[in-house]
Amino acid sequence: MIKLIDLPKILDDRGNLSVIEEMTNIPFKIHRVYWIYDVPGGEFRGSHALRETEEFIVAVSGSFDINLHTGKEERKISLNRSYFGLYIPKMTWRMLDNFSTNSLALIVASKGFNEDDYIRDFETFINQAG
Ligand code: TYD
């Protein structure tokens, strides 16, 4: 299930701290971490589904929208705080857009990068999501 997950927020006069721990805050073991940054105004990222990879996305800076399709339902979720994130199960179409200036999307993934895991054609996704 697509799920917004609150992360621990350790407030401190020296600055706040949040954390993602595998199998505690998110329901998978972390294999890979990548981030998307310097997105020009009006651009979008993603626009694919992953066959076997689960991901968790945090807007560690700024904000952006995640447009989701499960094969049955569409949803749009805005991320705009560094203390919660979106869990995206495998076989979920996602497209990220509406990036604010200087936004930073942190993505933790359950598997390593493998182009064979991608479905980049929406019609193929809809057919396979069945
Ligand atoms: P891609 O996932 O297609 O970006 P988007 O999220 O916008 O669809 O990745 C863009 C390029 O970066 C692609 O050529 C593959 C490469 N890449 C890696 O080498 N390792 C990674 O972990 C990721 C996510 C992408």
Query: What tens-digit pLDDT sequence spans the chain (130 residues)?
Result: 999 999 999 999 999 999 999 999 999 999 999 999 999 999 999 999 999 999 999 999 999 999 999 999 999 999 999 999 999 999 999 999 999 999 999 999 999 999 999 999 999 999 999 7
Question: Which residues lie with the beta carbon below 6 Å from any ligand 1 atom?
Answer: 32, 34, 45-48, 113
Name beta bridge partners: 5.
85
Cα of 116 from ligand 1 centre, angstroms: 12
Active site residue 48: yes
The yes/no answer on whether domain 3-129 falls in CATH 2.60.120.10 is yes
Torsion of the alpha carbons at 110, 113, 119 and 122, rounded to the nearest 10:
80
Q: What are the structural domain ranges in the chain?
A: 3-129
